[in-house]
Structure formats: C-alpha cells, structure tokens
Amino acid sequence: MSFQTSLLLGAAMLLPMHSYAQLPDGSALSVELRTDALVGHARIVLSDVAVIRTDRTQAPALVDALGAVELGRAPRVGYVERFSRAQIEQSIHRTTANVGAVNWSGSAAVAVRTEAQAVAAQTLAQAAIAALQGHLAGPGDRTTITVEAPPADVLVPVGEVALRPRALAAKPRNGRVAVWIDLHVNGELYRSVLVPLLVSVRQQAYLARHVITAGSIATAADFEVAEADVAGTDALTAQQPLAPFRAARELHPGQPLTAAAMLAGGTVLRGDQVRLTIRAGAIGIDTAGVAVDDAGPGQPIRARPNGSQDIVTGHLGPSGAVIVD
C-alpha cells in the first residue's frame, strides 16, 4: 500500500458519517439496487437498499461510508416507501464529495418496508386493566374490570416496546372507562391505542327502602345497608354515619344514596315556608313567607310574604331566615 493511499484511508475513517471524500483515482464504483428492502431501524441508508462494490480493495472504508448515506425515514409499519434510482443519486451527491462514475444495476426503484413485531391484544388489555385497578382501588371495595371491546394486535417496529397508560379521570362514568395506552418504541412514542373497559365497584352502601321525594327529610331508617355496584357514582359508604338530611332529588327503592342527593344543611327550596326579617334602619320586622328560589346560607334569595303578591329580595341567613335589608 502506498503512503498516499494510507493517508487517504486514514483521513476517510476520521470523517463524520455525513461527509465523504473522493474515491481513489481509477476506482470503479458499482451500485446494485434491490427491488425490495426490509429495515429494522428508523433511518434508511444506502446499504439497506443496495449492494455497493468497488474494484479497489484499498477503499473499503469509503465504501462503508457511502453505504451509510441517509435516504430518508423508514415508513410506518404496514406502509411502503419507494425510492427511485434518481432520488438515490441525488442523496449521494447531496451528502458526498465527487465519487466519480457509478455503474448502476438491478432495479430502477426499491420498495422499502419496516420490519414489525406484534404487541398482543391481551398485553394491551392487561396494561389498561392494571392501570385502572391502581387508580380505583379503595378500602372495602371489590372492583371487577373487564374489557368491553377487545383491541386487535398492534404492529410496531422492532425494538424495545414500553406501554404507558395515560392519566385517568377521577371517576368512571356509568361503569365505563376508556384507557389510552401510549406505545413507545426505543424510547419514542410510536402510536396510541384506546382500550374500553367495563367497571363494577361493589361496596356496602345506603340503599333507599322506598321512594324518597325531593325536599323531604330522610333518616337512616329510610335506608338499608347492602352491597351494591356504585361504579361511576359518589355513593356514600356504610362506614359513613347517616344523619337526617333533606333530599335534593327523588330517590327510588334500591337506589344508592349519593352526596349529590343530599342538600347541605340550612338549604331552602322553592316553596318552603320561611321566616322573613325585613330591616329598615334600626327597625326590624319579622313575618312569614314562601321561598321563590332555592338557596343555601349566605346566597341571594327571593321570597313572597304571606298574604301579599309582592316579592322581596334578600339573602339566606345561617338560621334559615330570609334577611331583607
């Protein structure tokens, strides 16, 4: 090997992969383009789609470097990316120095596909169920989670796959939850899959013994404690003592008691008899009336004094009286 050739090879091996020097004088470069190519990495390079040869054994490093010329990003699994000979030539000339004459052979274009691996539907379902179980678990609950609509197997590129469920809402709606699973391949998000689940959360709850009308006073005697499916509700657990309360809505027999069905203490409903305190300077007049609005302590409320068609406006005091200033 001549001193000049040794220097050339040494310089070529020090070059970064995106910059290439000229082939030795007199070298004949042959590129045989394949018809099809299957890649297992994110970027397509020339050696993926072609066989590169030179008649000079002194230049293997440069041939390897030429094989590393990037042609583009690998297609998504199930798709095909086509590269014509003209496109490949443009990539070579765009990223290399003068390579001299190239003897082309083989196909006029190459079809590139991405090598795939399957993530089983069962694996996706298990990841979604595990995420939801950890989110919903509570003391005394018996949670059952099943897949409502099994997902299909998902094809992703070869590599290290990580399944990462997204954050979940506080409560499932009507016993149904959709869990998004993000699939990362080699640390990069590749695609997301939606897994619909059915949820049953059974716990000891207060169940209405009979119809309880809105606005009526209910006590513990109006409920029985029994196990019920409370998924998607804010049902009170049997561990919480039940004091008398006014019902905010009608409850049917067997329906679990929820916090939303209980009026806050001191709440007045439209049509309730109320005490009116009308203040005029240092003078205060107490009378009776009927509430025209629903209101809680401190909230504005309108009322109609008994025996009058007039409507006065005030606010609801802590004792339940309507105070009109």
Residue range(s) in the chain whose domain bears CATH number 2.60.480.10? 3-114
Question: Which structure tokens are listed for 33?
Answer: 């383009």
Residue range(s) in the chain whose domain bears CATH number 2.30.30.760? 273-324
Among positive and negative, which fits the CA dihedral 237, 241, 246, 250? positive
Domain 273-324 falls under CATH 2.30.30.760: yes
Question: Which structure tokens are listed for 254?
Answer: 């067997």
Q: Which residues of the chain have pLDDT under 50?
A: 1-26, 58
User: Residue 98's pLDDT is what?
Assistant: 59
User: Residue 180's pLDDT is what?
Assistant: 94
User: Residue 8's pLDDT is what?
Assistant: 33
Mean pLDDT of the residues in the chain: 82
Give me the architecture of the 3-114 domain, per CATH: Sandwich (2.60)
Question: Whole-prediction pTM value?
Answer: 0.58
206-225 confidence digits (pLDDT tens):
999 999 998 888 888 999 99
User: Residue 118's pLDDT is what?
Assistant: 95
The Cα–Cα gap between 302 and 293 comes to 6
